[in-house]
Copies of this chain bind each other. A is one copy, B any other.
Amino acid sequence: MSAPIDRSVERGDGYYIVVEEVKPRVQVYKLVDSKIRFFESIWEIPEGITYNAYVVETDSGFLLIDGWKRGFGGLLVEELGKRGVLSRVTHLIVNHMEPDHSGSIPEILSARPGLKVLGHPLAGRLLRDFYGFAGEFKPVQDGEVFEEGGLRIRFLHAPWLHWPETIVTHVEDLGVVFPCDVLGGYGAYREIFLSEMSEEGRKRYFKLAKMYFANVIGHYRDFVLKSLPKLREAVSKSDVVAPGHGLVLDRGDALEMLSSYEKWIKKESRKIVVVYASMYGFTGEAATRLAKVLEGQGFEVVVYGFNDYERPMVSELVSDAMDAEGLLVAAPAYENQIYPTIRYVLDIIAHKTGCPRVFFLHVYGWGSRVGDARSMLEELKCGVVETLDFKPSTVSSMTDSQIKRVIDFFTRTT
């Protein structure tokens, strides 16, 4: 009765399709996107990404959970159709409305008009606003149990993870949790399971999952903390966790990743991220010198320098800032303002990860704009802030007391 499986469909245009069983009665329909360069058109991801739709077989047909990116709906319809699934889908469950998953809804509904759609109450309005949806929509409440074809499906509201109408779908009888984008990761994987990975592959995936978390979910970190007990409970009762991007996790890995989320958000590290921009080297010299000093004090120090030869990936920078207890930011003046790239990057860091502790180094020629830096950090609601400004000629002759100020700033606990 189960639909036939084929491991991978090559398309030769940077996209691949993988359809595979996740466990009996559960299949992943995975669009592997190795062509994308910027997720959300912001985050550099040379590693690519996958969009994971899932099909759950009930006694009366199939549930379709989420879908593919906008523009690939026709392809998803085709894949579901040729496996005999499309005509037997009874319900479409929308875990959230972000168009990298909801983007195929118009084609699905056009192939299967009248299909019942389930989602968070707010998803009903968004379906109309995004796709002019006027079909049958069943809003689901937090904790609501839906029974279909002999299966109990519990829906949990996970507001703002990372959309307001995010829900988690827990197919209790099969022991599978579909946590939406939570517990997802970057990477154009054709593999299905994290458990397929080598030790090195695991590490790489945790890095990509952290990057995804910081980039995409980071701004809603307080909501993540609020939802953690609920997520842990659902995961604990299941065998398999099947997110909207990346690899499928077993219970242990999913719980480990949730604990990592908590650790990252609480910035439980002795890590300092150094971010600098430097046009002619003065600011870079100050920043890298202090980075070495801090390393000598036992901190883990990661340096991101924007200069005339290199532009680091903001996706990685934000990921590193996510769990860093402190930031050392160094920027020159630029046309009587704070250097624009640093304003952009700091804005993103503050928004996505917060900035509880920032030391700001400023190098100026015409006149110091350190006051602007302080206003900017205040506007970004950064916590403890100190600043230091240098004329270029004094960068190389930084005094012991200046260096001590920086060390003290990061070592004292208040």
Contacts and interface: CB of A to CB of B under 8 A. Distances in A.
Given A99-B279, A99-B280, A348-B340, A391 B129 contact: yes
Contact of A40 (B70, B71, B279, B282): B279
Given A38-B311, A97-B365, A340-B347, A128 B306 contact: no
Contacts of A126: 365-366
A41 B281 contact: no
A393 B130 contact: yes
Given A70-B280, A365-B126, A393-B132, A308 B347 contact: no
B391 A130 contact: yes
Interface in A175-209: none
A37 B310 contact: yes
A157 interface: no
Given A129-B393, A351-B335, A393-B128, A36 B280 contact: no
A69 B280 contact: yes
Interface string A344-369: 10011001000000000000011000
Contacts of A219: 335
Contacts of A128: 393
Contact of A129 (B35, B351, B392): B392
Q: Name the residue among A69, A100, A279, A337 with the largest chain B CB count within 10 angstroms.
A: A279
A344 B41 CA distance: 14
A307 interface: yes
A42 interface: yes
Given A340-B347, A351-B335, A41 B393 contact: no
B278 A41 contact: yes
Given A126-B365, A130-B365, A308 B39 contact: yes
A261 to B, nearest CB: 18
Given A340-B344, A341-B41, A347-B340, A393 B131 contact: yes
Given A40-B308, A130-B393, A344-B344, 12 more contacts: A35-B309, A38-B307, A38-B309, A40-B279, A42-B340, A69-B280, A99-B282, A128-B393, A129-B365, A129-B392, A129-B393, A340-B351
